[in-house]
Amino acid sequence: MKVTFEINGAEKSVDVEARTLVVDLIRTKLGMTGTHIGCDTSNCGACTVLLDGRPVKSCTLLAPMLEGRKVTTVEGLAQGGKLDAIQEGFHAEHGLQCGFCTPGMMLVGKALIEANPHPTEDEIRWGISGNICRCTGYMNIVKAIQHAAAANAAENVAGVA
Amino acid sequence: MAVDTTEAAAAARQAMGGIGVSLARKEDARFLHGQGHYVDDVVLPGMLHMVIVRSPHAHARIKGIDSSAAMAVPGVIAVVTGELLAQHKLAWMPTLSGDTQAVLATDKVRFQGQEVACVIAETKYIAEDAAALVSVDYEPLQAVTTPQQAIAPGAPVIRDEKEGQTDNKIYHWEAGDKEATDAAFARATKVVSLETFYPRCHPSPLETCGCVADLDPVTGNATIYMTSQAPHAHRTLFAIVAGLPEEKIRIISPDLGGGFGNKVPIYPGYVVATAASLLIGRPVKWIEDRTDNLISTGFARDYYMDGSVAIDENGKFIGLRVNLLSDNGAFFADAQPSKFKAGLFHIVTGSYDIPAAHIVANGAYTNKAPGGVAYRCSFRVTEASYFIERLVESAAVELGQDPVTTRLNNFIQPEAFPYTSASGFEYDSGDYPAAMKVALDMLGYDELRKEQAEKRARGELMGIGVASFTEVVGAGKGKDYDIAGLRMFDSAELRIHPTGKGILKLGVKSQGQGHETTFAQIVAEELGIPASDIEVREGDTDNTPFGLGTYASRSTPVGGAATAIVARKLRDKGKLIAAHLFEADVADIEFDHGKYNVKGSPDNVKTIQDIAFAAYTNLPDGLEAGLEGVTYYDPPNMTFPFGTYLVVVDIDKGTGQVKVRRMVAVDDCGVRINPMIVEGQIHGGLTEGFGIAFMELITFDDEGNCIGSNFMDYLIPTAWETPRFELGQTVTPSPHHPIGAKGVGESATVGSPAAYVNAVIDALSHLGITNIDMPITSDKVWAALRSKGVTE
Ligand code: FES
Ligand code: FES
């Protein structure tokens, strides 16, 4: 069947089996391999993408569910060669080691600070608790998200001034 | 050699990104953009997909396999069975511990999840569909699910295909001195014992294992992309197992999504995908799903330990006895140095000056997955450290002492190094009381003990756990430590290009540890070329020198030493070139952080970049061109990182829930090359240690069904459960390592489980609760409290 949706700002129309998982569609059909697979049970969040701005586990969605919707993957974070604040934060605070969880973590973090620009540490920890990182122990992921929130806040202040 | 600590040197290091600088990671960019390149991202023209059909039974005879329905599915290319492999002499393969393991079962299945057949198809979805249609006729046999059952008389023999194997025993191994230990126990005034079980858990890196095998039938070239922590060793083993000519094999281990020991062994999937690619003439991809990973690949621990410490009238430890029984699963596939059947478990005397020790280890086959890998651990050091730290806790309780006092009384003293332990290790360096002191101060130990006393008087449960671990990491030396005969050295090849920028190629392989940054920093320190100008390459056997790979925290101790030494070789060659340029005598050339000068004229310098250019353009007569070198480093000894970890817990009497309030970790890993990366490693290890202590468990029911086969049952800490860590350090450089570093990847997983568990026991020991086996879940604490009549 044919499914039409927008991904990272570009419209796509693809022919897929209805049972295709969105994560497989993105990785295999579209060849965008930044979205990862870490489990079979919707527990790990390595496959997280934003669907109309909200984080979802793309291993838990079927391709037809994308019809008419907007998807953002890690490949869509940097704009015009400039890293998103969340990417800057992960780099500055050493929020990644093997990098396998990182796309999902960054997308969840970005959505989190968009919804809640000044999150507490507990709010961040709760917000990312659907995503597993096996390497970092989360300390620096929390800092990375705080770093991005602070950068966004500074930019807003600068924008207002 | 210790690192130069003057202010000028520090400023130069900062600019260079040398040792001690928390340089942001060079490798981050690709991961931040989603451009990391993991095995599952490899796509080759004509690539097929493989799915493994696994046994639902723990122990059963295979009476027949019917793959006709699977073969009839459009898009299926082949169904590979053990019978087919047997025709190519590939049905069995050697393990890293000198045993054999079925690639695909022919006679019996011996654990639930064992590989029985492989379906190869045009897409993964088709392969999965067809795999469900492979019909295997099993005759179930009685399953053996514990090593105690396994060694009991009359137990069904699991490895009945092995000639001369009439029971389920694998090995018997002893270390230390029995007589001296018996004598110590005979004169002890107190003997304290502990029986404990370190349960089976799993490294479970977020990326599972897999490969893409691409064998070109025309050229005979075999390129295998695989999740490998040890690509060179794997190349050689592939040559031996599959009979492929080694010069035609190229193993590429691309970005790895974590490893933690799980990616050290060779798994049947790699072998079948390779054989299938050869037979079919197309590339074959095999990627585990999470259940495949948890039920069939390298598990960790599964050690039953009991032992005693003999104590004299002064409260000094004088002897240690430990018995261990290991559950190795259906095939003895532990990844460990071949001379040591229980890895380096005999480091079990830990941080303590115990003059006599005797260790007896026995291994047993069971109907469970094989593996015995070191989950973020140097070959069973984790089990040893856990045992001694738990036993010292028990000793403190029985002596009526503060556990800190018991430790301080029995530590190997700083002046005693180098120290030869009763089981034969030569500890190169250490200062255990210093690390203890830093940790106590950071925690505010005395205050917390007061709080605990007040709470206890009110009937509230609070505990403070202490663990002062010592690790032994960085294997070799090669004479004593080998895997499958391959000596445990490691390598570095450094090429400085004419423009003064360079490329460093290593035999080790990062799985997220940040080698591209850390190793460039070593070169920066040694040669004075900025770390940003050094590209680091690993994981491609065609393009890196032979090395044994990354596990047992060996990258920095061994590969890092090789890097420092090869850089020094180039530095020395640079002196010859500098002498030529200055028209001076080589003996008069001085070198300091990237600058050469003639003694007495410090202002007239040639930079390392000038020298690099001259190495290709303006050489003295008789000197070979180029500024390149390679070093194979065989360490003279292991390194011995140590530390003290302190944990504070509060326990809810009503529910048994344990809450970790504080976790202070003081590590001494010697000189820290990139402190930011070091701390990241410690955070990760403390979290995995937390998972093991409280959440992670692979267990089995009586029929051998694996419980813990997915992330709903195998619980990994998320940010919500994970404690916040407070890190501290002491620095005792390793005297034999060229830059004094010791390796840090695993310290926290080795040291922390005992600290967490000791904290729980510290909260409960006054009630007479002396042991709870990991993972310490609320229900276990609840039951222990109720058994002592604590209600509420
Ligand atoms: S792969 Fe989607 S949650 Fe794990
Ligand atoms: S960085 Fe490896 S899983 Fe998060």
ipTM of the prediction = 0.98
Residues A156, A89 within the same domain: yes
Beta strands in B599-700 (DSSP E): 601-607, 627-633, 642-651, 658-668, 699-700
Query: Taking a C-beta distance cutoff of 8 angstroms, is the pair B487, B634 a contact?
Result: yes
Nearest protein Cα to ligand 1, atom 1: A37
Closest ligand 2 atom to residue A135 Cα is 2
Pocket lining: A47 vs ligand 1, CB cutoff 6 Å: yes
List Cβ neighbours of A21 (8 Å cut-off, separation of 6 or more). A58, A59, A60, A61, A62, A63
Kindly list the residues from chain A whose CB atom is less than 8 angstroms away from the CB atom of residue B124: 24
CATH of the domain at A117: 1.10.150.120
How far is Cα B562 from Cα B519, in angstroms, rounded to an integer?
10
B32 touches chain A (CB under 8 A): yes
Residues A63, A104 within the same domain: no
Among residues B110, B159, B200, B376, the one annotated as catalytic is: B376
Instruction: State whether A73 and B34 contact (CB < 8 Å).
Output: yes
Residues A7, A70 within the same domain: yes
Residues A31, A50 within the same domain: yes
pLDDT of B394 strictly over 60: yes
Give bridge partners of residue B323 from the DSSP assignment.
B306, B360
What is the residue-wise DSSP string for B680-704? Answer: HHHHHHHHHHHHHHHT---EE-TT-
Q: Which of A42, A76, A110 is the last residue of a domain?
A: A76
Query: pLDDT at position B780, please?
Result: 98
CATH of the domain at A42: 3.10.20.30
Residues A11, A69 within the same domain: yes
Quick one: average pLDDT of B108-125? 98
Query: Taking a C-beta distance cutoff of 8 angstroms, is the pair B613, B627 a contact?
Result: no
- pLDDT category, B1, cuts 50, 70, 90? very low
Give bridge partners of residue B358 from the DSSP assignment.
B176, B321
A145 touches chain B (CB under 8 A): no
pLDDT of B573 strictly over 60: yes
Quick one: average pLDDT of B144-154? 97
How far is Cα B513 from Cα B270, in angstroms, rounded to an integer?
24
Can you say whether the dihedral through the CA atoms of B75, B80, B84, B88 is positive or negative?
positive
Instruction: State whether A31 and B43 contact (CB < 8 Å).
Output: yes
Nearest protein Cα to ligand 1, atom 3: A42
- The structural domain count of chain A equals 2
pLDDT of B524 strictly over 90: yes
Helix (H) or strand (E) holding B359: strand B357-364
Kindly list the residues from chain B whose CB atom is less than 8 angstroms away from the CB atom of residue A125: 719-720, 722
Report CA(B257)–ligand 2 centroid distance (Å). Answer: 7
Helix-, strand-, coil-residue percentages of chain A, each rounded to 5? 45, 15, 40
**B209 belongs to the catalytic site:** no
Amino acid identity, residue B651? I
Kindly list the residues from chain A whose CB atom is less than 8 angstroms away from the CB atom of residue B256: 98
Residues A7, A40 within the same domain: yes
Kindly list the residues from chain A whose CB atom is less than 8 angstroms away from the CB atom of residue B677: 94
Closest CA to B781 of B648, B649, B647, B657: B657
Query: pLDDT at position B10, please?
Result: 75
Report CA(A19)–ligand 2 centroid distance (Å). Answer: 29
Residues A12, A71 within the same domain: yes
pLDDT tens per residue across span B696-731: 999 999 999 999 999 999 999 999 999 999 999 999
Quote the mean pLDDT of chain B.
96
Residues A155, A91 within the same domain: yes
Kindly list the residues from chain A whose CB atom is less than 8 angstroms away from the CB atom of residue B290: 38-41, 44
Q: Which of A17, A44, A76 is the last residue of a domain?
A: A76
Largest interatomic CA distance in chain A: 52
Query: Taking a C-beta distance cutoff of 8 angstroms, is the pair B373, B549 a contact?
Result: no
Kindly state the tokens that stand for B130.
């067809």
**Percent over 70 (pLDDT), chain B:** 99
A16 touches chain B (CB under 8 A): no
Quick one: average pLDDT of B389-414? 98
Query: Taking a C-beta distance cutoff of 8 angstroms, is the pair A49, A26 a contact?
Result: yes
Query: Taking a C-beta distance cutoff of 8 angstroms, is the pair B194, B394 a contact?
Result: yes
Instruction: State whether A31 and B289 contact (CB < 8 Å).
Output: no
pLDDT tens per residue across span B157-210: 999 999 999 999 999 999 999 999 999 999 999 999 999 999 999 999 999 999
Query: pLDDT at position B4, please?
Result: 65
pLDDT tens per residue across span B4-29: 667 877 777 788 899 999 999 999 99
Q: Which domains does chain B carry?
A: 7-36+490-633 (3.30.365.10), 39-141+208-255+263-296 (3.90.1170.50), 382-473+639-787 (3.30.365.10)
pLDDT of B792 strictly over 90: no
Residues A7, A61 within the same domain: yes
Pocket lining: A132 vs ligand 1, CB cutoff 6 Å: no
Pocket lining: A55 vs ligand 1, CB cutoff 6 Å: no
pLDDT of B311 strictly over 70: yes
Instruction: State whether A44 and B711 contact (CB < 8 Å).
Output: yes
Pocket lining: A7 vs ligand 1, CB cutoff 6 Å: no
Can you say whether the dihedral through the CA atoms of B180, B186, B187, B190 is positive or negative?
positive
Closest CA to B191 of B423, B386, B398, B350: B398
CA distances from B182 to B179, B323, B356, B391 (A): 5, 14, 9, 18
pLDDT of B276 strictly over 80: yes
A59 touches chain B (CB under 8 A): no
Q: Which residue has the tokens 């931040």?
A: B32
Quick one: average pLDDT of A56-63? 98
B132 touches chain A (CB under 8 A): no
Q: What is the pTM of this model?
A: 0.97
Angle between helix B561-582 and helix B515-527 axes, rounded to 10 deg: 30
pLDDT of B292 strictly over 70: yes
CA angle B417, B735, B748 (to 5 degrees): 80
Pocket lining: A97 vs ligand 2, CB cutoff 6 Å: yes
pLDDT tens per residue across span B297-310: 999 999 999 999 99
How far is Cα B137 from Cα B121, in angstroms, rounded to an integer?
23
Q: Which residue has the tokens 């500024």?
A: B627
Residues A31, A95 within the same domain: no
Residues A90, A156 within the same domain: yes
pLDDT tens per residue across span B243-271: 889 999 999 999 999 999 999 999 999 99
Strand ranges of the sheet holding B48-54, from the earlier edge strand across to the other edge: B76-81, B115-121, B48-54, B284-287, B210-215, B222-226, B249-252
Instruction: State whether A137 and B512 contact (CB < 8 Å).
Output: no
Full domain range(s) for residue A135 = 85-160
- List all residues of chain B from 502 to 531 with a beta carbon under 8 Å from chain A: 511-514
Q: Which of A76, A100, A134 is the last residue of a domain?
A: A76
**B487 belongs to the catalytic site:** no
Residues A66, A95 within the same domain: no
Can you say whether the dihedral through the CA atoms of B591, B592, B596, B598 is positive or negative?
negative
